[in-house]
Structure 1
Amino acid sequence: MDATIGECSPSVERSFEGQPPPGFWGQVTMRSMAVAVVLAAIFSFVTLRIHMTIGIVGALNMPTNVLSFFFLKSLVTVLRRHGIAAVPFTRQEHIFLQTCVITCVNIALSGGFATYIAAMNDEVAKSLIDDTNPRDIVDNISTGQYMLYLFVTGLMGILSILPLIQVMIVDYRLLFPTGSVVAHLVNSFHTPQGAYVAKLQVATIFKTFLGSFSWSVFQWFYTGGGHCGFQSFPMFGLGLYQHEFYFDFSATFVGLGMIVPHIVNCGLLFGAIVSWGFIYPFLGSKKGQWYHTDSDTSLNGLNGYKVFIGVTMIITEGIFNFFTLLTTSSIDFYKKKHENDSGLTKYIKKHPSLNYDDRKRLEVFLGNHIPIFGPVAGYVACATICTVVIPWIFNQIKFYHVAILYIILPVFTFCNTYGTGLTDWSVAPTYGKFMIFIIAACIGEPGAIVASLAACGIINAALHVSSQAMEDLKAGYMTLTSPRAVVAGQIYGVIIGSIINPCIFLAFQANAKNTAPIGSKDSEYPCPSAGLYRAIGLIGMGGVKELPDHCITFCLVTCFITLAIETLRLVSQRKDWKLQSYIPCMTAIALPFFTGASFTISMSLGSVLLIIWTKVNRQSAELLSSAVAAGLICGDGIWYLPTAILSIFNVHPPICMKFLQSGEQVKVVDSFLNTLGTHAKT
């Protein structure tokens, strides 16, 4: 299960030996909580605005990280200039602040403002069918109810993952790439002056950051339309481009490819080739026989195969690993009870080759661990509250539906978080859509659509928040931040997120009344994804028979293949066969089934670049590869914030760069352009 890359780089923690980690209240400070509210409001506003207009929101981890540093650093400087004593700004406080802000942003993303909640209203319902049932319409949810709903669903996401912290970070040693990159940036920002290696790494980060940011700015000018710009560059030809095989010039994915293990990148590429190279072209040839719709999003077309085959792989592997974990944990608990040994001593004995950094991090991490009884008791108590609160808010869903969802939720949480730890990609929205279909099919009567959308919200919020929570905990682990302080930041983020985001939504709602209601096509906030969510519920009411032909057969075959590969991987690990190094996890293979093949090419390129760099100069690669990756990801991520602000003020790229097949298509376009020139002259 070990998903880390061998750590041979110079020690990070030796640079901080003179700066012992502060106590809990030195990490959770009033000034960081105050700054968190300001930054959370700014980023939540940007996130909701983009989500409700465009429907797709990029990752904001890097902008929040950089702005958190400069905001709080500037505040400390200003206080000292005015003669007010202020304790130094530490990396642990930085992680707490970043955690608060990004958790609030995730509440905005998973709160359903532009997806499943918008899909409940009358405008979206009438855009799909004329005859709508009143039981499947919810136009008004009081702000207080919405705040309560966001709080309990977000809190459940945190509580569901807390018992797995040590398993994911210490036992499986999962990478959680975004969390690792954030930690690398934070360590670089706060490294004491005078350390040669630290200065070299910081210089490398800023050089690659500047290059990545400049490249993102340059690319933006050519993206003035759908499928425009370098992101749609058909490097391998237009034929393969139509099957999603193209290089998208993404610095983020190249950077991720440099820090994600090679076997994971190989699994992603293999999954892309199998799905988009063979399975989907075959299924595309069956249109008119097995399915009839042209829609790219409807579950009764090609998309139905994509969603159900991919989800089958992820859930099957997740359940396999979940039961493996339960078995090994039970055996481990039994041995630990008889050995009467501490977790830290036992782990160091089991891994004698741990370097200085890992030993230091384990000491802080296990010394401040959260007893498993607390999260488990909190989860049970909060789940009980949710079985009362959620049916009170949405009376179409029954208490036993909510209870069943929270019984199976830990398995889904484990599956999604495990995949995020390997590939940095959460598929929470896919689980949510899958749950819409299942619940709507189970109920199959008026009210089923709203009930299924509410169930989607429960799953989507919990999985989205939990995967990001583990990213934050990984960053905390690598910066000697107490896991208790990180969890406190996540809970505080949920609290401010459940208050700030409904208020921002109310402002958008008031503004939309001047044009058209939220969710309508003519509105300033059309919520383009809402129709898709409701359409899945409509299809789900028809049951499994609404799926394309042989979809369930494909799922069963996929399930057996996944079980066979996972069994082989587990046996090879237990027997210490060399084969274990060449068996990718099925979650990595499954991811391109949903997302396309283009990003796998970028990540594979990052892996190839790292291999070449290591062959040319191993010492340089070990020292600076993480810094280069962090700079690439951060530069590309930071540009997203200016882009979002420009789009809010209706400033769009001036040029659209597209590629056409030579021959007749070029003649037609040339003729059209010449016609435009003639009209302009007249």
Structure 2
Amino acid sequence: MDATIGESAPSVERAFEGQPYPGYWGQVTLRSMLVAVVLGAMFSLMTIRIYMQVGIVGAFNMPMNILSFVTVKSLVSLMRRCGINVSPFTRQENIFLQTSAITCVNVALSSGLATYTIAMTSAVAKALSPNPDERDILYDLTMGKYGVFLLITGLVGITSMLPLVKIMIVDYRLLFPTGSVVAHLIISFHTPQGAYVAKLQSYALRKAFIGSFMWSLFQWFYTGGSSCGFQVFPTFGLELYKRSRFYFDFSASLVGLAMIIPHVVNFGLLFGGILSGAIIFPFLETKRGQWYTTESPSTLNGINGYKIFIGLTMVVTEGIFNFITLTTAMLIDFYKKRQEKDTGVTKYILKHPSLNYDDRKRLEVFFGTRIPVLGGAVAYIVCAIICSVITSWIFHEIQFHHLALLHIVLPFVTFSNTYGTGLTDWSVAPTYSKFALFIVAAWIAKPGAVVASLAASGVTLISLNISSQAVQDFKTCYMTLTSPRAVVTGHIYGAVIGSIINPLLLLLFEANAKKTAPIGTKKSEYPCPSAGIYRAIGLLGMGGVKELPKHCLTFCFITILITLSLEILRLVSQRKDWKVQFYIPCMTAFALPFLVGPTFTVDVALGSILLILWTKVNRQSAELLSSAVAAGLVSGDGIWYLPSSLLGLFNVEPPICMRFLSSGKQVQVADAFLNNLGTQGMTR
């Protein structure tokens, strides 16, 4: 039953009945387009930075909704005080703004800056093999080509779901939980009480932002050299810091991120860090010379092979299990609806002859301004052909016929993924992209196959991520009487600004990364743990298993059994409503420390602990303001990245280097050196 139906429910649209309905240009406004660029750029920067560092990132939908409302509302108020007559800020314009900004961020998430794009570079290739084939490394991806690739694949994702919108939202009445929550949030913001709540959230966000920014500025003064500052503070002792990189790096953005990520994920990261850094890796170190002989830490036939493939096994096994679970749930639900013969809006209205005022208004606006199915289908075919041609031109290793077949299959996969998202609020686009990666690598199976398969993975990931989010936006559009054409415009505009912003972000990160530790390497500030997974899958598809060290496959098999057991236990406990479901770790989170080390795990665990304590002290305050505080912590630390990068470009170095030494002989040597240095300075 549709959650929006019910005569007993209070009418939402009656509260807006006296307000004139804005036309297309009342929803697609210049001020919202400008604000969307700012918000899209800011959240894309924060998202990519965290994704590169941690390999997992939370959803910023709620913080972005708060910021978009407060920003435009404040802008309108300021202009009116200056005597400028401007139109009011409506919920429909709000939807266009947040659709544009979120699409931009979705392009960033799918752009491969932390996954498949970085996996094509020589740094990641050499991290998995000392002498990788040059044909499996991409050297000539210019920013112009990269931007065009992001734009055209984004348009494929947008157009692929257009024929599905009516089926998903009206015919099958899927809930799309995030889209529904966003709709209720924006509707509440545009009522007097909701505006007051938004002001409280905005105030909390500003305080957290200022505190986070000032803390990042304070830390900068102590980073005047390699391995200096609070980011290398040996919180749990020098031994743990040296051996397993287990410490707290005082990152406000990671603490804030943990407040919007489920506790089970954060504690899964912590336990994965403890298991890998304190138990498994030290054990494997003792087997050097017996199970493997290489001293290099970056080859697959050494200890790195265990690390990469144990982590990869967890991620892939959980992804396949979730894919099967989600597909099964989709097929059962789809079969039930077909048995009911509930396939059209006419029968929908006949089954509910007493549709309330809200639902009639929603259907009227939705059908009155939607894009025809034929138009969406033609747009997808045109975009798919263009994408196949352009992608094969940018990535010479993949041929047109590979991409053409991929685009023939994509609509079916899009339907499956979007339907599952509508039921569970969960997209398995990364799993589909890994399937495409493996299949294309095995299909080509010659030098160049890794780059080709990574490109195919990118097309799949961008298309599916954007299409599933797009239908979420259409659910919001439906519930707020927003024109579907305005929402499609927001999607296209967001894809355009995303295709411009993300190549610039790549240049920014590359300029800021140290030459001795480029992006994608373990010692880098941006290790990109997921990039190693993507490239390893490509190598596996080409038959790289034979290079693995002794007993590596045995470890992988044991990992598969453990992962499947935990996933089955989680599924059963959810069905039976057992409390144990809240304590079963997320295996993807568990796997990340195997790939990049446990550096960030203490930060995210601390964020969860703080939120739990806040909830115990004042649950209502925590539920109302935690997302805003999290956004402020992440934003403050993220925005500091821009001035710090500019200071670096102008060769402005921090004045102090704070480092830590073991007591005893090391301190005596350092003291003697410093005293001698001071004596020489006085002599001169």
Structure-2-length-normalised TM-score: 0.69
Cα deviation, 1:193-250, whole Å, max 9, x if unaligned, reads 8966554444333333332222222222223334332233222222222323222222
Deviation at 1:666, TM superposition (A): 2.3
Q: For residues 246-293 of structure 1, give each alpha carbon's deviation from its aligned partner in whole angstroms, at most 9, with x where no partner exists.
A: 222222332333343333333333322222232222233333444455
- Which residue does 2:30 correspond to in 1? 31
The structure-2 alpha-carbon separation of the partners of 1:291 and 1:71, relative to structure 1 and needing over 3 Å to count, comes to farther
Contact 1:476 1:483 in 2 (8 A): no
Work out whether 1:672 is the aligned partner of 2:670: no
- 8 Å contact kept, 1:32–1:93: no
Paired residues of 2:177 and 2:424 also in contact (CA < 8 A): no
Q: Which moved more, 1:329-338 or 1:22-31?
A: 22-31
Relative to structure 1, is the Cα distance of residues 301 and 156 closer, same or farther in structure 2, using a 3 angstrom cutoff? farther
Structure 2 CA distance for partners of 1:651 and 1:626, relative to 1, 3 Å: same
Partner SS for 2:600: helix
Task: Work out whether residues 435 and 455 of structure 1, in 8 Å CA contact, stay in contact via their aligned partners in 2.
Answer: yes
Other structure's SS at 1:89 match: coil
Per the alignment, residue 236 of structure 1 pairs with 236
The match for 1:607 is: 608
Q: 1:75 to 1:582 in 2, by over 3 A?
A: closer
User: Matched residues in 1 for 2:117 and 2:611: separation?
Assistant: 44
What amino acid is the match of 1:581? F
Counterpart residue number, 1:459: 457
Alpha-carbon distance in 2 for matches of 1:599, 1:104: 26
Question: What amino acid does structure 2 have at the position aligned with 1:260?
Answer: I
Q: Which residue of 1 aligns with 2:217?
A: 217
Distance (Å, rounded) in 2 between the aligned partners of 1:435 and 1:224: 44
> Contact 1:151/1:495 (CA < 8 Å) preserved in 2?
yes
Determine the structure 1 residue equivalent to 2:349.
none
SS of the residue corresponding to residue 227 of structure 2 reads coil
Residues in 1 aligned to 2:226 and 2:569: alpha-carbon distance in whole angstroms: 44
Q: For the residues of structure 2 that align with 1:551 and 1:409, how far apart are their CA atoms?
A: 38
Paired letter, 2:453: A
Q: Is the CA contact (8 Å cut-off) linking 2:256 and 2:633 kept in structure 1?
A: yes
295-304 vs 578-587, which moves further? 295-304
Cα distance in 2 between the residues matched to 1:228 and 1:19: 61
Alignment deviations for residues 455-504 of structure 1 (CA, whole Å, 9 cap, x no partner) = 323424653685588679879978976695555433323234446777x6
Q: Distance in 1 between matches of 2:245 and 2:363?
A: 42
Change (3 A) 1:578 1:383: same
Q: Is the 8 A contact 2:122 2:138 kept in 1?
A: yes
Letter in 2 for 1:452: V
Paired amino acid for 2:217: V
**Structure 2: how far apart are the matches of 1:151 and 1:616?**
47
Structure 2 partner of 1:353: none
Matched residue, 2:265: 264
Match of 2:662, SS state, is coil
Distance 1:410 1:191 in 2: 40
8 Å Cα contact 1:219/1:230 also seen in 2: yes
The aligned counterpart of 1:543 is: 544
CA contact (8 A) 1:28 1:93 kept: yes
For residue 331 of structure 1, give the secondary structure of its aligned residue in structure 2. helix
Amino acid at match of 2:155: L
Equivalent residue runs for 1:97-176 within 5 Å: 97=97, 99-100=99-100, 103-104=103-104, 148-156=148-156, 173=177
For structure 1, which segment, 197-206 or 399-408, has the greater mean C-alpha deviation from structure 2 after superposition?
Answer: 399-408
Counterparts of 2:626 and 2:674, CA distance in 1: 47
Corresponding letter in the other structure for 2:215? W
So what's the TM-score if we normalise by structure 1?
A: 0.69
Q: The residue matched to 2:224 in structure 1 has which SS?
A: coil
How far apart, CA to CA, are the structure 2 residues paired with 1:607 and 1:254?
8
What pairs with 1:573-612 in structure 2 (closer than 5 Å)? 573-612=574-613
Q: Is the 8 A contact 1:271 1:593 kept in 2?
A: yes
2:555 corresponds to 1:557: no
Which residue of structure 2 aligns with residue 326 of structure 1? 327
Q: Sort the Cα spacing of 1:39 and 1:622 in 2 relative to 1 into closer, same or farther, 3 A.
A: closer
**Contact 1:32/1:97 (CA < 8 Å) preserved in 2?**
no
* Aligned counterpart, 2:634: 633
Q: Pick which of 19-28 and 116-125 moved more.
A: 116-125
**Is 1:365–1:483's contact at 8 Å kept on the other side of the alignment?**
no
Once structures 1 and 2 are overlaid, which stretch shifts more, 78-87 or 88-97? Answer: 78-87
CA-to-aligned-CA distance 1:68-92 (integer Å, 9 cap, x gap) = 7788668757876887653223465
1:13-42 superposed Cα distances (whole Å, 9 cap, x missing partner): 99x979989668367514047526964997
Partner residue in 1 for 2:89: 89
Q: 1:587 Cα deviation (Å)?
A: 2.6
Q: Percent identity?
A: 49
Q: Deviations over 1:163-220 (max 9, x none)?
A: 7998xx97685799xx98x998x89997748966554444333333332222222222
Does structure 2 conserve the Cα–Cα contact (< 8 Å) formed by 1:105 and 1:497?
Answer: yes
- The residue that corresponds to 2:655 in the other structure is 654
Q: Secondary structure at the match of 1:256?
A: helix
Instruction: State the partner residue of 1:250.
Output: 251
Q: 2:333, 2:391 → 1: CA distance? A: 38
1:246/1:598 contact within 8 Å kept: yes
Whole-Å Cα distance in 2 between the matches of residues 578 and 125 of structure 1?
A: 43
The correspondence of residues 287-302 of structure 1 with structure 2, limited to 5 A, is 287-293=288-294, 297-302=298-303
Aligned mates of 1:33, 1:343 — CA distance in 2: 35
Whole-angstrom CA distance in 2 between matches of 1:658 and 1:416: 50
Cα separation, 2, equivalents of 1:123 and 1:245: 24
Alpha-carbon distance change, 293 to 376 in structure 1, aligned in 2, over 3 angstroms: farther
Give SS of 1:207's match: helix
Distance in structure 2 (CA, Å) of the matches to 1:636 and 1:161: 36
Give the stretch that moved more between structures: 550-559 or 34-43.
34-43
Compared CA separation, residues 614 and 133, structure 1 to 2 (3 A) = closer
Q: 1:436 to 1:267 in 2, by over 3 A?
A: same
Mapped contact 1:213–1:635 kept (Cα < 8 A): yes
Counterpart Cα distance in 2 of 1:546 and 1:525 = 25
For residues 256 and 118 of structure 1, do their structure 2 counterparts lie closer, same or farther at Cα, with a shift above 3 Å needed? closer
* Counterpart contact for 2:259–2:608, Cα < 8 Å: yes
Distance 1:132 1:576 in 2: 49
Q: CA 1:296/1:21 → structure 2, altered by over 3 Å: closer, same or farther?
A: farther
How many residues of Structure 1 are paired with residues of Structure 2 in the alignment?
A: 639
Q: In the aligned structure 2, how far is the partner of 1:373 from the partner of 1:304?
A: 49
Unaligned stretches of 5+ residues in structure 2: 1-9, 346-357
**C-alpha contact (below 8 Å) 1:313/1:587 kept by paired residues:** yes
Q: Distance in 2 between matches of 1:113 and 1:278?
A: 31
Alignment-mate amino acid for residue 212 of structure 2: S
Query: After superposition, what is the alpha-carbon deviation per residue over 1:599-625, rounded to whole angstroms, capped at 9, x for unaligned?
Result: 332222232223333333444444443
Partner of 1:493 in structure 2? 494
In structure 2, what is the Cα distance between the partners aligned to 1:425 and 1:571?
21
Instruction: Specify whether residues 578 and 80 from structure 1 end up closer, same or farther in structure 2 by C-alpha distance, changes over 3 A only.
Output: closer
Distance 1:133 1:591 in 2: 27
Distance 1:464 1:556 in 2: 31
Report the Cα offset of residue 141 of structure 1.
Answer: 7.0
Partner amino acid, structure 1, of 2:272: G
Match of 1:349 in 2: none
The letter of the residue matching 1:547 is: L
Deviation at 1:322, TM superposition (A): 1.9
Aligned-partner residue type, residue 306 of structure 1: K
In the alignment, residue 641 of structure 1 is paired with which amino acid? L
Paired residue type of 2:450: S
Q: Give the Å deviation of 1:313.
A: 1.9
